[in-house]
Amino acid sequence: MDLGIRGRKALVCGASKGLGRACAEALLREGVHVTLVARGQAALDEALAAMQAIALAGGGSVQGVACDITTPDGRAQALAACPEPDIVVNNAGGPPPGNFRKFGLDDWRQAVENNMLTPIALIQATIDGMVARGFGRIVNITSATVKAPMRSLDLSSGARAGLTGFIASVARESVASNVTVNNLLPGPFETDRLRSTLAAGALAQGQSVEARMEEGRRAIPAGRFGDPPEFGALCAFVCSAHAGYITGQNILIDGGAYPGVF
Ligand code: NAP
């Protein structure tokens, strides 16, 4: 299926690893011109080198900006490299796990900055241009914990709830101009973040990391963790020309882990 986005420009944040990287690769396969954002230069260079062949095969291009997207300066650098994007994938590292009692107000402010205010700032900076051009796709990588908060992910659930409420309104305002805004809610996907989160839990309970990973896999109806390309493919479809009637949604991708009907 041709997703109809060949030649579009995408800004993909948090894109040197994990889910953001998978989104960037899926968009490149569709012939999109992709700008990757991540802080660490070494991982960014590795990702850029690996993606050149995908870009060449898809007919798009890839470039990278090493900056912190959660700062005004970082966002200015990203938008200078990719002015007037047609597609924005909002993503940055999730907040650290832990019970809310161990976090001070500065930790909460940082979580809100990273997982709520940064996506809002990028939406503010890009959505009116998309509306004027008659096409736009904004995807926020949030978390399955938005629908089913987990005790150890208090910072994440709290901060992302604010973004989710904001999106529900803005997504309805822009859709008549073919600009959609949606949240993708990953369950456990096998990325660096998942491994480090599970390793911390294993350490705390005197368990081996592999035993903890196996326990995690068994808890999911699919019997496995998600594979990042599966997430990238969903992102590319939501960014496609065919998805103009999907907006304001919180789309779970979790191997059946969420037990509810809605
Ligand atoms: P990951 O494997 O740790 O990758 C995070 C990527 O974001 C890296 O490229 C990282 O590069 C970049 N990044 C982090 N902070 C950044 C910043 N301030 N500015 C620019 N780039 C930044 O994480 P992931 O597993 O893909 O997770 C992505 C998001 O999904 C997170 O919000 C996470 O909480 C959420 N999530 C993940 C899972 C899962 O199972 N993996 C489940 C639910 C929710 P640098 O560090 O070099 O900047």
177 Cα to the center of ligand 1, angstroms = 30
For the whole model, what pTM was predicted? Answer: 0.97
Ligand 1 atom with least separation from CA of 156: 34
176 Cα to the center of ligand 1, angstroms = 31
CA-to-CA dists, residue 158 to 110, 149, 201, angstroms: 12, 9, 20
Ligand 1 atom 31: residue of nearest CA: 94
47 Cα to the center of ligand 1, angstroms = 14
Ligand 1 atom 16: residue of nearest CA: 92
Q: Residue 99's pLDDT is what?
A: 86
CA atoms within 13 A of residue 174's CA, in its CB half-sphere: 29
Q: Residue 81's pLDDT is what?
A: 98
Backbone angles phi, psi at 180, to 5 degrees: -105, 150
- Amino acid identity of residue 202, one-letter, is A
Q: Residue 144's pLDDT is what?
A: 95
Secondary structure of residue 88 in the 3-state scheme: strand
Q: Residue 228's pLDDT is what?
A: 98
**What contacts 228, CB < 8 A, 6 or more positions away?**
18, 19, 21, 22, 189, 190, 191
192 Cα to the center of ligand 1, angstroms = 8
Task: Report d(CA 95, CA 70) in Å as an integer.
Answer: 12
Ligand 1 atom with least separation from CA of 95: 34
Pocket-forming residues, ligand 1, beta carbon under 6 Å: 13-20, 37-40, 43, 68-70, 91-94, 141, 143-144, 156, 186, 188-189, 191-194
Q: Which of 21, 69, 91, 163 to mutate to test the pocket of ligand 1 (most atoms within 8 A of CB)?
A: 91
CA-to-CA dists, residue 99 to 86, 152, 155, 156, 157, angstroms: 38, 5, 9, 11, 12
Ligand 1 atom with least separation from CA of 118: 18
Asked whether 167 and 181 are in contact (CB, 8 A), the reply is yes
Ligand 1 atom 7: residue of nearest CA: 14
Asked whether 35 and 82 are in contact (CB, 8 A), the reply is yes
The tens place of each residue's pLDDT in the chain, 262 residues long, gives 999 999 999 999 999 999 999 999 999 999 999 999 999 999 999 999 999 999 999 999 999 999 999 999 999 999 999 999 999 999 998 888 888 899 999 999 999 999 999 999 999 999 999 999 999 999 999 999 999 988 888 899 999 999 999 999 999 999 999 999 999 999 999 999 898 888 888 888 899 989 999 999 999 999 999 999 999 999 999 999 999 999 999 999 999 999 998 8
Furthest C-alpha separation in the chain: 56
